[in-house]
A and B are shown apart, each in its own frame.
Chain A
Amino acid sequence: MTKEELQVLYKAKILPESKNPYHFEVADQADLKIEAYNSLCGDKFQLYLETEGELIKKVSFYGFGCAVSKASTSLMARKLEGMQFKEAANLCNAFVSSLKEQQPLQAFEDEELGILNQLMRFDGRIDCIKLGWEAIDKNLK
């Protein structure tokens, strides 16, 4: 990825999403609290899930992270609302697998995830992209 491509990617999706993240707030009343933490770089988000049975009604998150991890977690929060636990875990698992090139992303046909997935080629940032997704996958499966 060239510098120009990187700039386009940041301008188009990463920065708008990370500067106005979805439900970026502490939600202590949430039914489920999951920590997403990368001990190597220090990024740490608390994920808050309001649930009804196994239905995810609302996802919020709060913490410290780079533009990529924040944008990625924000996109994830949007996607997971309205899903059942299993569905959410499957999506997160498939997305994390796609980052590890274990599964092609085309299966998703999802433009936003596609953009995130492009960042995969952006060396050294996979951990940032998968931070929240991996936490959901581990905790809900």
Chain B
Amino acid sequence: MLDDLKHDFPIFNSYPELIYLDSAATAHRPRSVITAINQFSILENSNIHRGVYDLSNNATGKYEEVRLKVAKFVGSENANNIAFTKGTTESINIVAQSYLADRLEQGDNIVTTIMEHHANFIPWQMLAEKHSIELRIAPVDENGDLIIEQLNALIDDRTKLVAFNHISNTLGTVNDIEQLIELAHQKNAPVLIDAAQSILYYDLDVKKLKIEFMAFSGHKMFGPFGIGVLYVADQLMDEIKPYNYGGGIIQSVTVNGTSFSNFPFNMEAGTPNVSGVLGLGSAIDYIEKIGKRMIKEHIGTLTKYCVEQMKQLSEVKMLGSPKNRSGIISFVVDEIHPHDIASFLNKDQIAVRAGMHCTQPLLHHFGESATARASFSIYNSKSDVDALIKSLKELIKFWA
């Protein structure tokens, strides 16, 4: 277990009593990341790829260093596999609009799953509607695990993409992405992995796993808001058209037409989020200093402990019981609406999420209108779980 890391996060100096169980929504930022962002404004601020003066050269160098750092972080040696985006949502939309849209023909299909975040669902649904193709949705069983045989049956030689998350943000299910990728590749379909919930503590070696597209956000891995990543495999980089048009992505512009740079430099039109990128780089340093394995172990231990404790409460029902669970637990309590749960927990300084978690199709599937959700990170400890259980017990008693 990691015990002292809470001190790395200044938010807990500001709110010593805070029990933050909503890291699946956004993680807090360690001091080193905050410093990196601030330092850029104080010492390094400049636009990139535009100036020949020292400040601009330095900023450009640091920005591009992070591109390579991100590539290595996901198992690639090629910095050009990495485009910086606003976040997971934008990364997925880029694949939908800049890669997939133009290659869809009647009779094609896209395969996704019922457990997706809306960000990895609506872009495909919109494409399917517009191009009159089929969106095929793989189901989950009562435990919240994907039904692999049914998913497999949905993929055929007209499947243009198989898009799925690594970890469900509502159920906490950890999908066996190696197996899912294999199934897609057997039918020559490329995959898109939504790694928003897993990038922090799962090894994601894009080369070894032969991933074509992968998306994640900075703010769920201790980085800043407004910065995300789209990984595109070597063989598909030339297939990605610009997403937004403007400066910074062109080779030449004349009154008759424009020629564009190659991926990833055709993605970042306009001035990019430079301090966000540097913050992301610092977040990767922080994660690597601790080690993904340690982070995973810590979060795994806490989650297991919380699941065991919740099982003792007969009024509490957890949504799903996946074979392999990450640091996320969605639950409902008899007779008490998730919002009321969250409000009362808030009075005990416990922050949980309540609602539909941007997964309405999944909640409909389980017959729930909303759930409460607790999610863990490295700054949580067993005492946080104890506090959650104590508050829940008190609330259940109060409500009776």
Contact = CB atoms under 8 A, between A and B. Distances in A.
A26 interface: no
A40 interface: yes
A139 interface: no
A12 interface: no
A66 B398 contact: no
A68 B340 contact: yes
B272 interface: no
Interface stretch (B174-182, B222-230, B343-351): B343-351
B337 interface: yes
Interface string B326-349: 000000000011111001101110
Interface string B247-267: 000000000000000000000
Interface in B194-218: none
B355 interface: yes
Nearest to A70: B337
Contacts of A29: none
A3 B348 contact: yes
B363 A42 contact: yes
B344 A41 contact: no
Contacts of A32: none
Contacts of A128: 339
Contact of A66 (B340, B346, B356, B360): B340
Nearest to A128: B339
Contact of B343 (A40, A43, A124): A124
A66 B369 contact: no
A43 B369 contact: yes
Given A3-B347, A6-B347, A64-B369, A42 B356 contact: yes
Interface of A: 2-3, 6-7, 10-11, 15, 40-44, 64-69, 122-125, 128
Interface of B: 336-340, 343-344, 346-348, 354-356, 360, 363, 369-370, 398-399
Given A2-B347, A15-B399, A66-B340, 10 more contacts: A6-B343, A41-B355, A41-B370, A42-B356, A66-B338, A67-B337, A123-B346, A124-B346, A125-B339, A128-B339
List the 8 shortest-distance A-B pairs measured between CB atoms, nearest first: A66-B337, A3-B347, A66-B339, A42-B370, A64-B369, A42-B369, A41-B355, A42-B356
